[in-house]
Structure 1
Amino acid sequence: MWLNEGFASYMEYLGADAVCPELKTLDQFVVQELQNVFHLDSLKSSHQISVAVNNSDEINYIFDRISYGKGATIIRMMEHFLTSKVFRKGLTNYLQERKYSSAEQDDLWSALTEQAYEDGIFDGNMTIKEIMDTWTLQTGYPVVTAIRNETSLILKQERFLIGGKSEDKNSTLWWLPITLKGQYDNMLTKIWMKAEQEIVIDFNRDPSFWFLVNVNQTGYYRVNYDIENWQLLTKELNSRSGFKNFDPKNRAQLLDDALNLASAGYLDYDMAMNVTRYLVHEREYVPWRAAFNSFDFLYAIFSHSGQFDKFKDYMLYLLDGLYKEITFNETPNDATLKIYMRMDMLWRACQLGKLECVQESLKQFNKWQFTINPDKENVISPNLRGIVYCNAIKSGSQSEWDFAWQRYLNTDVGSEKELLMSGLGCSREPWILYRYLEWAITEGSGIRKQDSVRVFSAVSSTIVGQHISYSFLKANWNKIKKYMGSSLMLFTGIVRECISTYPSQEELTDIKQFVKSKSDDLSSASRVIQQLVEQGEANLEWKKRNFDKIVRWLSSFRG
């Protein structure tokens, strides 16, 4: 199954790049697929790509980010270490040989190995099966630690876990295609870690020059460095134009790796936060997208604390120049990535309470609200409607909510219904949110049964709504279950949205007790529930270990 879905996911990006290279879809792949799946795959409760299914109910839960995102990512990695030419020739041979018949992954591995031998990419001691079985038949992915030692470089691998270093470092090892480049190197160095815990290679470079591993993040692994190299990389990033010496994909990689390595305890948070300082000069979408992914985690943590103002001030400092350049003002000639940047940036700016952003959202919503025929004359840009709807309803009164609800009932456009449905969950009025959830499980309310999960997701996405949705779930369990009937996927989806992954210790204990009491109803979704609980536990441990450190860094930061 993963071969089908993984190839389909990867080919979407290759096809789009062939037709519209200006979209930079292959750059976007790094943040939309590779880094996106990293988080789920760093849980102990993750699963192999190639996994056995014990009953029909389990099938739906295999169609997750592991099958799609990780599948696409390791196929991309394979194309890079084979070269595109060899990969495509081998793939063509495989399709010709297996047409009109069934196939399994070993058939593809054989075809690619034969082509790699023919073109001299592999010697006789390597096979695709030996390499790729470590990726498809094992759970997780590694972190490679690179330590410079005089004229050599030590490379070590171990499984990366969100909760910190594994106690059994030797239990899981991968075949790793290592790409390496020094600050002034003109050529890439390419070597293999052949399921070895540690290798040492010659590396005669000036110790005052930085080096980079996993160039363009073509490999499915994180990279940690010795402290001296992290300092050199950070210095280069934070020089006025030095960050441009790194490809946008590698800037995204450095941000994502640094913040996640720090989160898991592999790197000091002071170093990771110092890496983010350069963003005040960054104008490319892909690095910012990587940063937003990690900052969203910090937002969720800090928004549940009395130290939120410190995080907010730092974020608004980083966003200030970007906001002034992009704002709400669209032009017909805006590049696609600029549109994406505007949407992501405005969402965070308004979320952080930037006054101009919130006021503009209200202004545009109210202008729409008072048009003669709002169902036919929506003056808000389609690209900005999600931002405007949410912030106007969040900052407005019942009047804004009722207006949006009526537009939801009146529109026949599916995408508009989805935007309005999400925006309606942004209200800060508890009674409105309780009523909205009630309507989501009531026949004839105007909300289709298949859209109920989206309503619970919208309500749960806010601090106010998270507690309300979980309380509602517990109080209405049997009613929700009865309303969803045989649709186990929808029922599990509602449960997933209502369980917070940022709980207090008391809330986590309650969640564990509650899901245990409902274990019979959730038997086929046990992996999903286990992942949610594990994320909650990891986030609690993270707060104990790192929260005060980041507060101190934010308190001492001077822009």
Structure 2
Amino acid sequence: MSKNDREILPQDVLPLHYDLSLEPDFKTFKFNGHLELSLDVVRDTNTVVLNALDMEFGSVSVIIDGKETPANSSNFDEEAQTVTIEFPITLSKSADPVLSIDFIGILNDKMAGFYRSSYKAPDGSKKWLATTQMEPTDARRAFPCFDEPAHKCTFSITLVTDPTLTALSNMDAASEVIKDGKKITTFSKSPLMSTYLVAFVVGDLKYVESDLFRIPVRVYTPPGMEERGHFSAELAAKTLAFFEKTFDMPFPLPKMDMVAIPDFSAGAMENWGLITYRVVDLLFDEKTDGAATKERVAEVVQHELAHQWFGNLVTMDWWEGLWLNEGFATWMSWFSCNNFYPDWKVWQNYVVDNLQSALSLDGLRSSHPIEVPVKKADEINQIFDAISYSKGSCVLRMISKFLGEDTFIKGIQIYLKRHKYGNTETADLWNALSEASGKDVSHIMDIWTKQVGFPVITVEEDGTKVTFRQNRFLNSGDVKPEEDRTLYPVFLGIRTKSSVMEDLTLDSREITLDLGSDIDFYKVNADQSGIFRTSYPPSRLAKLGANPQLLSVEDRAGLVADAGALASSGYQKTSGLLSLVSQWQDETEFVVWQEMLSRIALIRNAWIFESPDIADSIKILQRELTAPMAHKMGWSFSETDGHVESQLKALLFSVAGHAGDETIIASALDMFDKYSKGDKSAIHPNIKGAVFGIAVKELGAPAWDVLLETIMNPISTDEKNTAYRNLGRSNDPELIKKTIDLLFNDTIVKPQDIYLPMAGLRTHKEGIVALWKWTKNNWDEIVRLLPPGLSMLSSVVSVTTSGYATPAGLAEIEKFFKNKPTKGFDQGLAQSLESVRSKLSWVKRDTSDVKKWLKESGFYSKDSTRL
């Protein structure tokens, strides 16, 4: 798709500066707005076309040389989300026109544009605040604008509010006056920036501040939550200083505010100087929140701060370059996190998190290239996925390893300095990295960003000679010849006992190497830096599995991940994966355990609708694999426990407990009993999710009621979300119905959290079926609550359809959506259905193989007493 195919605004006039005033009304949930937009006339015209949605215009005029001329008409096109304003005079190139518009907008409940958000005040009353979410194309809901990233402008924002409320925007307040009972806050003029980064927040807000950076760094929250903001405020201040040094580029704004928003559709939004967050992704308390939550908050905060340079200062020219924003911010958050918390070993976690997310989605036919062609607005939300974020960051990690980290950072500095306050394409980044390294980076990287998919490297041995052959990988395993034409430049990274062969690149179909004495031990893709799967002969996989001490932590986790993916897609047998993980019972590293147990859980889930013998036998395997180590490590936590050690304890406790370990179940129920009687410290935050889930499964309704009470009166947002996720753990029909009924109860489950109670329901077949029936029976209401133009509908469709892995279930879902409009979630639906088909093929192909291995290994049982 060429640039000419993009559906963009006419270029007759271009924006120069927005002077915008807004006054929100919390009684009518509307806002009054006045805009004065300075224009640059490119071609003489008597019409101006802007983006505008869900607003009414009052007075519209153009001012030229002090003379005001009213518009003839303003015609809205709801489908195109534009308004065409016609004037009785011609706007000429020699003029400096200013477009003046009075308008009224809706302070909506869709978490888009300028919207309202509610929270419960300390006195129990319901309170409101107003906030924004402009990305990707919802600034047009807040004010008439040229809502495209290439149209960078300066902004002067004024907010008219109740005097008791706090008003925030991207810049610092230049003046604040009280007039006619209203507070008028005028903010300093902004630097050049895109409309999707404009932000304002109005509400009763409290803050904590860090003085560790040269400008104010504050965390704002609704009253009563502010003390949980200290961790993020301190981390943000230190991170800003770190990024200034790393990028050799000062942060250009006069302050940095971060705000916890009670209703928020994403995780966070990088608005320049005013970052907004989902509450659970910003606030953290050592006493009530676990290690995983701390890591998540740190990663999100550093991700958004990286955007202040990469995305805000330098911005993609169009949405197909989204990965330039998100891929880099993701990579940079890991780079930064590793600097501040080396004991977290985040680059190990990368292998089982970012890399696997990328490969899982990119193994689908319905995936898309990193640089995905985008034609119009309603296509944009669907590319905020694991390709833009995770695969994008994996490509950057791969090139940073290839060039060397110092050279990579030098190239980033060149890129930022050359394009600050401007817009870029991917080629601009490659040019800067090429200049820094002296290597032709675009020649290497264009294939990775412009082509969909990745390869599987098949290894064949003949004596000391080894042949490496690349082919397109698909989760379904049925690659067609026309899908297998791309040859990726693959850095093989072969690890031997003595070294890593870092300079070997496979950019042809195959290559044969004589490894000589190194044939005794070698492993492809050292530390899993490359974006590919490796398929070994069964004998080589067995040798690698027998020598884990020769492999790095990343290698061990990657070996399991590849074996799991190759089994589920038919490139190898599932018994190979099971043999590999079953011999690593003494493994000590968290990320390796995490990947092992994740792959075993995927097997159990794939067979969940089959006769129960295999799923139940896999449960026995889970228990007998994890219980010894869980008992050895224990499930009490102290300040001397390391961050990663705490996560491993929690993981083993959870899996062994849910797999039926009686000692852990008894301990969990004892903790839950104390908790339910008022001792909120009885359950350590690291294992609260496991205890909640075990209690609901074992105790049923009484535990469900305790979790509901926790949701209504939590000690933290993290605890509330943990309760949400475990409500559906029981397969009792009555409790399934009670959980399902909460999904539309917005006094208990906000629309932003609708997918959270679905998590427990997806752990058993009864819940999976109930979720799909709910979707089918309530489709019109779901679409009303979560409009297709926003991102959450696609997520809900994926969650409620992807688990229904039966032929009848697949046919029912396909029939239901066949004649329904799927605009806005068609890609997510296609990916979900493709995943179901792959699971069905896996079950059909490997049932006898899995059953045979379980029997021969002593795990197969139809006797429920073993469970």
Give the partner amino acid of 2:655.
Answer: R
Q: Which residue does 1:48 correspond to in 2?
A: 369
Give the partner amino acid of 1:491.
Answer: L
Aligned to 2:474, the other structure's residue is in SS state coil
Work out the CA distance in 2 between the residues paired with 1:510 and 1:231.
Answer: 42
Match of 2:350 among 25, 29, 37: 29
Q: Which residue does 2:486 correspond to in 1?
A: 172
Aligned to 2:390, the other structure's residue is in SS state helix
Distance 1:294-1:96 versus aligned 2 partners, 3 A rule: same
> Structure 1 residue 558: deviation in Å?
4.8
Match of 2:389 among 68, 87, 99: 68
Distance 1:379-1:314 versus aligned 2 partners, 3 A rule: closer
Aligned: 1:468 with 2:781: no
> Structure 1 residue 80: deviation in Å?
0.7
- Alignment check: 8 A CA contact 1:91 1:111 kept: yes
Q: Which residue does 2:735 correspond to in 1?
A: 432
Aligned: 1:545 with 2:845: yes
Aligned to 1:51, the other structure's residue is in SS state coil
66-75 or 252-261, which moves further after superposition?
252-261
Q: Which residue does 2:127 correspond to in 1?
A: none
Cα deviation code 1:344-370 (max 9, x no counterpart): 222221221222222222111111112
Match of 2:467 among 134, 154, 169: 154
> Structure 1 residue 499: deviation in Å?
1.0
Aligned: 1:341 with 2:655: no
Work out the CA distance in 2 between the residues paired with 1:50 and 1:36.
Answer: 17
Q: Which residue does 2:545 correspond to in 1?
A: 234
> Structure 1 residue 162: deviation in Å?
0.8
- Alignment check: 8 A CA contact 2:768 2:804 kept: no
Work out the CA distance in 1 between the residues paired with 2:829 and 2:755.
Answer: 16
Cα deviation code 1:459-486 (max 9, x no counterpart): 3343321111111222222233334457
Structure 2: state its 5+ residue gaps: 1-321, 860-867
Percent identity for Structure 1 against Structure 2:
27
Q: Which residue does 2:827 correspond to in 1?
A: 527
Give the partner amino acid of 1:548.
Answer: S
502-511 or 523-532, which moves further after superposition?
502-511
Aligned: 1:13 with 2:334: yes
The alignment covers a number of residue pairs equal to: 535
Aligned to 1:146, the other structure's residue is in SS state strand
- Alignment check: 8 A CA contact 1:434 1:472 kept: no
- Alignment check: 8 A CA contact 1:502 1:539 kept: no
Match of 2:601 among 293, 296, 311: 296
Give the partner amino acid of 2:812.
Answer: D
Q: Which residue does 2:506 correspond to in 1?
A: 193
Query: Which of 1 and 2 has greater Rg?
Result: 2
> Structure 1 residue 510: deviation in Å?
1.0
Q: Which residue does 1:406 correspond to in 2?
A: 709
> Structure 1 residue 402: deviation in Å?
1.7
Q: Which residue does 1:320 correspond to in 2?
A: 627
Work out the CA distance in 1 between the residues paired with 2:789 and 2:734.
Answer: 28
> Structure 1 residue 415: deviation in Å?
1.5
Aligned: 1:420 with 2:715: no
Work out the CA distance in 2 between the residues paired with 1:70 and 1:483.
Answer: 31
> Structure 1 residue 502: deviation in Å?
4.4
Instruction: Provide TM-score, normalisation by structure 2.
Output: 0.59
- Alignment check: 8 A CA contact 1:42 1:161 kept: yes
Give the partner amino acid of 2:732.
Answer: E
Give the partner amino acid of 1:70.
Answer: K
Aligned: 1:216 with 2:522: no
Aligned: 1:498 with 2:819: no
Work out the CA distance in 1 between the residues paired with 2:793 and 2:777.
Answer: 15
- Alignment check: 8 A CA contact 1:154 1:200 kept: yes
Q: Which residue does 1:329 correspond to in 2?
A: 636
Cα deviation code 1:289-334 (max 9, x no counterpart): 1112211211213443322332222222221321111232212211
Match of 2:359 among 38, 53, 78: 38
Instruction: Provide TM-score, normalisation by structure 1.
Output: 0.91
Aligned to 1:384, the other structure's residue is in SS state helix
Distance 1:37-1:346 versus aligned 2 partners, 3 A rule: farther
Work out the CA distance in 2 between the residues paired with 1:362 and 1:289.
Answer: 24
Match of 1:265 among 549, 564, 570: 570
Aligned to 1:523, the other structure's residue is in SS state coil
Q: Which residue does 2:757 correspond to in 1?
A: 455
Work out the CA distance in 2 between the residues paired with 1:76 and 1:172.
Answer: 21
Give the partner amino acid of 2:663.
Answer: E
Matches within 5 A, 1:509-528: 509-517=811-819, 519-520=820-821, 522-528=822-828
Give the partner amino acid of 2:668.
Answer: S
Aligned: 1:85 with 2:388: no
Cα deviation code 1:193-236 (max 9, x no counterpart): 22x111223422265x1211111111111112234423322332
Q: Which residue does 1:133 correspond to in 2?
A: 446
- Alignment check: 8 A CA contact 1:165 1:266 kept: no
Distance 1:446-1:548 versus aligned 2 partners, 3 A rule: same
Give the partner amino acid of 1:290.
Answer: E
Aligned to 2:512, the other structure's residue is in SS state strand
Distance 1:491-1:112 versus aligned 2 partners, 3 A rule: closer
Distance 1:541-1:475 versus aligned 2 partners, 3 A rule: same
Work out the CA distance in 2 between the residues paired with 1:272 and 1:266.
Answer: 12
Q: Which residue does 1:391 correspond to in 2?
A: 694
431-440 or 321-330, which moves further after superposition?
431-440
> Structure 1 residue 151: deviation in Å?
4.5
> Structure 1 residue 187: deviation in Å?
4.8
350-359 or 526-535, which moves further after superposition?
350-359
Give the partner amino acid of 2:630.
Answer: Y
Work out the CA distance in 2 between the residues paired with 1:187 and 1:52.
Answer: 37
Q: Which residue does 1:240 correspond to in 2?
A: none
Give the partner amino acid of 1:212.
Answer: K
Give the partner amino acid of 1:162.
Answer: N
- Alignment check: 8 A CA contact 1:170 1:197 kept: no
> Structure 1 residue 392: deviation in Å?
0.7
- Alignment check: 8 A CA contact 2:597 2:622 kept: no
Work out the CA distance in 1 between the residues paired with 2:381 and 2:691.
Answer: 34
Structure 1: state its 5+ residue gaps: 237-242
Give the partner amino acid of 1:156.
Answer: R
Work out the CA distance in 2 between the residues paired with 1:188 and 1:483.
Answer: 54
Aligned to 2:748, the other structure's residue is in SS state coil
Work out the CA distance in 1 between the residues paired with 2:809 and 2:760.
Answer: 21
Distance 1:463-1:78 versus aligned 2 partners, 3 A rule: same
Cα deviation code 1:34-58 (max 9, x no counterpart): 1232111111111111112232222
Matches within 5 A, 1:331-370: 331-370=638-677
Aligned to 1:442, the other structure's residue is in SS state coil
Structure ranking higher on relative contact order (CA contacts 8 Å, 6+ apart): 1
